[in-house]
Amino acid sequence: MITRKGGENTAPNICIFGAMPTSKNLGVSALSFSTMIGVMKRVPRAQLTVFDEKTGAQANTYSNEGLSFTYTTMGAHHSRRYYRHDNLWNMRVSSWLGGLWNPGVKAIADARCVFDISSGDSFTDMYGPHRFDWMTLTKLIALEQNRPLLLLPQTYGPFKNPHCRRIAERIVCSATAAWARDEHSFSRLRELLGSDYDPARHHSGIDVAFSLPALRPRRALPDTVADWLDDNRHRKTIGVNISGLIYNDPDAAVNRYGFRADYRKVVVEFLRRILTKTDVAILLIPHVLAEKGKRESDPDANNDILRKLSGVAGTRLVALPPDYDQSETKWIISRCDWFCGTRMHSAIAGLSTGVPTAGIAYSIKTRGVFESCGQGDQVADPRLLSTEDVVECLLVSFQQYEKIKRSLESVLPDVRRRAELQMDHIVESCF
């Protein structure tokens, strides 16, 4: 528990941007709950306001593993509906006018500090101008309200547009403190800061989702999946996360992310070889639970894979229903003998629970996070490798899973310790 220097318990108001607890992206909700849980373990009386895409303010309760607390969600939208109080441009203009009539602005003005984590990897112009504006408006509002802005562990960049880079430089130089979630990103943060770099304020850290609890699902698992994950199962089970963002939009893989390899062919061929050359069970695990027909939907990608491999899969290839939250999905991944993730936080769920994990990279963030666990050689990068080379990298990782497990287990205690000390530092920075 954090106390004032005189020993009096404190109850700060803390606002959180860039980590929506209601997100269909389990990686984003993992960041949200990891942050909230980390704060509330240290300051049980803290008042949390988490900005999301719902409308208005709503009271919520979290209760698990002996920890229970309330938090408020408040809408903050980036759209053309400028008349709405929860529109970010409305909030920003209101703040210029002293606008405490705006609920979001008032919450920020009353906050001891503002946390912003940019969904872990969205402080970049890689995803287009709309998303960049969304991520930067939240930070600019906090700074213009003269609130201490803490940039929580995240990836910085890349910034291809010089104008976007200048905005990013302004923000990181003005923030009270900033953490990068790996060494690669820390180097980018230092580049942005230039002569403003201050080791007392700017830190190399680790993704907060390493501390997310893994919780047994409340909703029953399908019988087949439950059997595959049981302690007494009769065959090995591997988990695979396929990113709908890339699988469902091959043009984006090439034009936005610069893939040399064909991601669809990588996934299909890797799974085909596993099915034909081994007797393991394969569980397809979605991590972005977008509705059917949405470009980023992992379940849609899984369903397409099931159709493509129906002739060779038999009963050994199953897609997990999109019915489980971030902590439950982490528990499911933790029960696998080996895991391959394209979504970054699906891979973190494996790494942080000691599961031998391979990653398919679509940005620099993947290798950096894997290297924080001494697992950089378990990343296959389709931007640099051919389709066949990516498949071979994944097969080698799977074949060496016992060796990888021993390596991961040797470093995890230190990784977990770093994650806890980092959260201590983040919370102490509010005082």
Q: Are 156 and 172 in contact (CB under 8 A)?
A: yes
pLDDT digits (tens, 9 = 90+) for 230-246: 999 999 999 999 999 99
Give residue 5's pLDDT: 42
Which residue is associated with the tokens 């109850």? 11
pLDDT digits (tens, 9 = 90+) for 31-85: 999 999 999 999 999 999 999 988 888 999 999 888 999 999 999 988 888 888 8
Give residue 1's pLDDT: 52
The average pLDDT across 277-282 equals: 97
pLDDT band at 140 (very low <50, low <70, confident <90, very high): very high
Give residue 9's pLDDT: 52
Better pLDDT: 247 or 98: 247
The average pLDDT across 176-201 equals: 95
Residues above pLDDT 70, as percent of the chain: 98
pLDDT digits (tens, 9 = 90+) for 313-339: 999 999 999 999 999 999 999 999 999
Distance CA 56, CA 107 (A): 12
* Closest to 18 in 3D by CA, of 144, 89, 173, 124: 124
The average pLDDT across 268-285 equals: 98
Which of these ranges, 50-54, 176-180, 297-301, has the smallest mean pLDDT? 50-54
158 upstream amide cis, omega within 30 of 0: yes
Q: Reply yes or no on whether the pLDDT at 8 is more than 90.
A: no
* Closest to 340 in 3D by CA, of 262, 294, 396, 301: 396
**Where do the H-state alpha helices sit in 49-150?**
88-96, 103-109, 129-144
Q: Which range has highest mean pLDDT (180-184, 274-278, 360-364)?
A: 274-278
Distance CA 17, CA 135 (A): 9
Half-sphere exposure of 181 (CA within 13 A, CB side): 29
Q: Reply yes or no on whether the pLDDT at 2 is more than 70.
A: no
Distance CA 188, CA 74 (A): 31
3-state helix, strand, coil in the chain (%, to 5): 45, 15, 35
The average pLDDT across 274-285 equals: 97
Give residue 10's pLDDT: 59
Helices and strands, number each (H, E), in the chain: 17, 14
Give residue 324's pLDDT: 98
Q: Which domains does the chain have, with CATH numbers?
A: 13-205 (3.40.50), 223-412 (3.40.50.2000)
Distance CA 86, CA 75 (A): 5
pLDDT band at 6 (very low <50, low <70, confident <90, very high): very low
* Closest to 399 in 3D by CA, of 238, 254, 257: 238
The average pLDDT across 87-99 equals: 88
pLDDT digits (tens, 9 = 90+) for 212-224: 999 999 999 999 9
The average pLDDT across 179-206 equals: 95
Beta bridge partners of 50: 16, 73
What is the chain's mean pLDDT, rounded? 93
Taking each helix axis as running N to C, give the angle between helix 26-42 and helix 401-428, from 0 to 180 degrees, rounded to the nearest 10. 50
Distance CA 101, CA 107 (A): 10
pLDDT band at 257 (very low <50, low <70, confident <90, very high): confident
Give residue 97's pLDDT: 87
